[in-house]
Structure 1
Amino acid sequence: MKVQFGPGGWVQWPDSDEFSIEFMRLLGAAQEGGSMISECFLAASRIDPTDGGDSWYREWIAMADLSNERADAAFKRGHVLTARSNWLRAINYYQASAFGLDAADTKQERALLAMRGCARSYIEHMTPAGEVVEIPWLEGHALEGYFLPAPRAFHQSPVVVCMGDPGHRKEESLFKVARYARDRGMSLLAVDLFGSGTGAKFDEVVGRSDLETSVGHVMDYLYTRDDIDEHRIAILSDGLESSFVARGVALDNRFAAAVCDGGIWDMHERAFLMNRLSLSSSGTEGGWLGPKLRCPLLITLGEQGWLESDYVTDLFERLKAEHPDVSLKIFESSETAAAHGHRDNPTLANEFIFDWVADRLESVSA
């Protein structure tokens, strides 16, 4: 197993970028309880990234099954804390095993069904218990979410909505961000676009031009609950590959704070398309969200991410001219959390993000 260090940091398999990036995410999840470093390296030692993904699936599904079996055995003995820890790691390993598989592949279906079963067991045995919720959206395709109430909440609590980019699954929020909301007295609603099941209709949904309408439906659902403070709702978009959450926030003035790209990715894609078509970029301002965003906004990215920091800084300055209450945090390579999506150190990014959210929501109640 050949390991290299490059400008973006440590690379497990230099000839396989996709598997190396996913492996970095798995290791980063260890400090959040989503994996164990020793288990990750054990699995990696048995993986041949050139075999078309066969060994990748085999090793991660085996690790996931083992964690799931440990969880079930611990639960039967009454050791709920150990069961929860193992369910949490199993969720991540099952997700990893499905990485790169086609939606029609029965191996992916098997992994995702097991992942969802672990997630439901995990939230059911939290204190206080979480719940699986259904949120109306499209005809025949409701959104599904995991609602985790704030601990010791005897009154209406602030809530953070975690809504990943298309392709991101809500189960990842259980180990990636849930504790940051819980430790700050916030409820969490984790939602994705897959709906219930394994997401068989996802390809039909993700191609829609109105994905941002899902954000308003999530807010409508929260307004039906009597255990949250409707004036202190924040939203966190987990990723920077799409601006649909930013567009949704621009259409809905009920959010008290938002952590998303502010429409930067949309601007990037529009400019790229104009260049490819050799068209004037003067029309790219048509989708600019600056004047429409009304709540406090935070944009974060890593210095080694897919978008160059100088480019993002330029767009940020343009956004700030029209929306003064916007902040930009660029994590530099010298401090880590600098990879795309902060995969190399999600802890550092989440501490910053949730402190910012807590400050904004506290100012609403002050």
Structure 2
Amino acid sequence: MVAECLLVAGRLDPADYADSWHREWTGIADRSRERADAAFARGHVPTAQGNWLRAINYYQASMFALDDGEKRKAALEAMRACARRHIAHLAPAGEVVEIPWQERRALEGYFLPASSSGRTPVIVCMGDPGHYKEEYLFKVARHARERGLSLLAVDLLGSATDSEFGEMIGRPGLETSVSSVVDYLTTRDDVDERRIAVLGDGAGSSFVARGVALESRFAAVVCDGGIWDMHEHAFLMNRLSPAGTEGGGFERRWPVRRFHCPVLVTMGGQGWLESGMVADLFERLRARHPGISLKIFESSETAAAQGHCDNPTLANEFIFDWLADRLEAVPA
């Protein structure tokens, strides 16, 4: 809620930025959570649901400027508690699921079934390391529900409360998580395993793209297509190449395999990568993968910031319409 965000902003202390940031966002999150619990006790479920979602958002915001491990742990536990209450009282109810992945580490997700019965198509939403699955409950869940799609929101942290961003980003084989998620979905009797799509969310969802390139069971994919990886390869090769020589050849390194389904890449025209560079890298990708398409949101229509953060609704409407069309084209 804009008014609540402005209220917090007005209370931040520049002389004590980190502590005041955490204190004020936690305070407004606690009030939303208390309001939700009170509304639920009186039988007002829609009000409770809205306030639990806002509390999730505010608890996540409280961690942005936070280095204290215990405070981060408390915020994450509060955020997850709100998420569990929220999905438990959806209609139909969602569930917390555990997905086997690496040795001694499982993925954790929220599975939100479509309102229709039987085997339904499903969207898997996975974020970069540092993104929490809880945020997809307020970012994308309604877009899936409104189109009759089930949703599985997953992050790479599992059920841990002390995993740091650096630990996850440095872990080898992040892309193997993609196949592990598909393995899990094929065991469910309410999922149409021929109509599984994935949405890789974040600043650069190339680990999802790498996983998709190794996986033939997706019907449609939205991710960066490997563009961020290609950009990093180009940067490093230009730095390491002798002066005056071309830093070419990086496109041969990624991806090694072809995508097996239609792929959509969406970028903001005002994002971290310039539109011209994105278009150039995309053309290199399309030479190998004819089924890939690109949508750049320009500033004149909004959704043009990095991650479409200035208008995520506009971007998600486009993305989920594209996904629904591709899944509908696959026979049930």
Range into which the TM-score falls when normalised by the shorter chain: over 0.9
Inter-partner Cα distance in structure 1 for 2:163 and 2:254 = 33
Conserved? CA contact 1:214–1:248, under 8 Å: yes
1:171 match: secondary structure:
helix
Inter-partner Cα distance in structure 1 for 2:52 and 2:103 = 33
Matches within 5 A, 1:270-285: 270-278=233-241, 281-285=247-251
Conserved? CA contact 1:290–1:322, under 8 Å: no
Q: Shift of the alpha carbon at 1:56?
A: 1.1
Q: 1:49 to 1:325 in 2, by over 3 A?
A: farther
1:85 aligned residue: 50
1:73 aligns with 2:38: yes
* Partner of residue 269 from structure 2, selected from 265, 287, 303: 303
Q: 1:197 to 1:209 in 2, by over 3 A?
A: closer
2:102 aligned residue: 138
Inter-partner Cα distance in structure 1 for 2:60 and 2:194 = 34
Matches within 5 A, 1:103-118: 105-118=69-82
2:215 match: secondary structure:
coil
2:133 match: secondary structure:
coil
2:172 match: secondary structure:
coil
Q: Shift of the alpha carbon at 1:268?
A: 0.5
Residues 238-280 of structure 1, C-alpha deviation per residue, up to 9 Å, x if partnerless? 1232410000000000000000011100001111112222355
Inter-partner Cα distance in structure 2 for 1:213 and 1:290 = 15
* Partner of residue 304 from structure 2, selected from 327, 335, 338: 338
1:162 aligns with 2:162: no
Matches within 5 A, 1:229-308: 229-278=192-241, 281-289=247-255, 291-308=257-274
Residues 71-107 of structure 1, C-alpha deviation per residue, up to 9 Å, x if partnerless? 11111111111111110000000000011323x5211
Inter-partner Cα distance in structure 1 for 2:161 and 2:54 = 19
Q: 1:284 to 1:49 in 2, by over 3 A?
A: farther
Task: Give the letter for the 1:69 counterpart.
Answer: E
1:19 aligned residue: none
2:71 match: secondary structure:
helix
Structure 1 length normalisation: TM-score? 0.87
Q: Shift of the alpha carbon at 1:320?
A: 1.5
| Number of residue-to-residue matches in the alignment | 329
1:312 aligned residue: 278
Inter-partner Cα distance in structure 1 for 2:149 and 2:14 = 41
Inter-partner Cα distance in structure 2 for 1:286 and 1:319 = 10
Inter-partner Cα distance in structure 1 for 2:56 and 2:258 = 37
2:24 aligned residue: 59
Q: Shift of the alpha carbon at 1:203?
A: 4.2
User: Post-superposition, which runs of at least 4 consecutive aligned residues in structure 1 deviate over 6 A?
Assistant: none
1:195 aligned residue: 158
Conserved? CA contact 1:166–1:242, under 8 Å: no
Inter-partner Cα distance in structure 1 for 2:266 and 2:329 = 21
Between the aligned residues of both structures, percent identity stands at: 69
Q: Shift of the alpha carbon at 1:54?
A: 1.7
Inter-partner Cα distance in structure 1 for 2:170 and 2:238 = 23
Q: Shift of the alpha carbon at 1:184?
A: 0.2
Inter-partner Cα distance in structure 2 for 1:308 and 1:130 = 39
1:360 aligns with 2:323: no
1:30 aligned residue: none
Residues 48-86 of structure 1, C-alpha deviation per residue, up to 9 Å, x if partnerless? 345342211111000000000001111111111111111
Residues 140-172 of structure 1, C-alpha deviation per residue, up to 9 Å, x if partnerless? 110000000001x22210000000011111000
The answer for unaligned runs of 5 or more in structure 2 is none
Conserved? CA contact 1:194–1:202, under 8 Å: no
Inter-partner Cα distance in structure 1 for 2:15 and 2:229 = 34
Q: 1:347 to 1:113 in 2, by over 3 A?
A: same
Q: 1:288 to 1:86 in 2, by over 3 A?
A: same
Q: 1:77 to 1:253 in 2, by over 3 A?
A: same
RMSD between superposed Cα atoms in Å: 1.5
Q: Shift of the alpha carbon at 1:326?
A: 1.2
Residues 192-248 of structure 1, C-alpha deviation per residue, up to 9 Å, x if partnerless? 000103243664343123100000000000000010110100000012324100000
1:327 aligns with 2:293: yes
Structure 2 length normalisation: TM-score? 0.95
**Higher mean displacement: 70-79 or 200-209:** 200-209
The answer for unaligned runs of 5 or more in structure 1 is 1-35
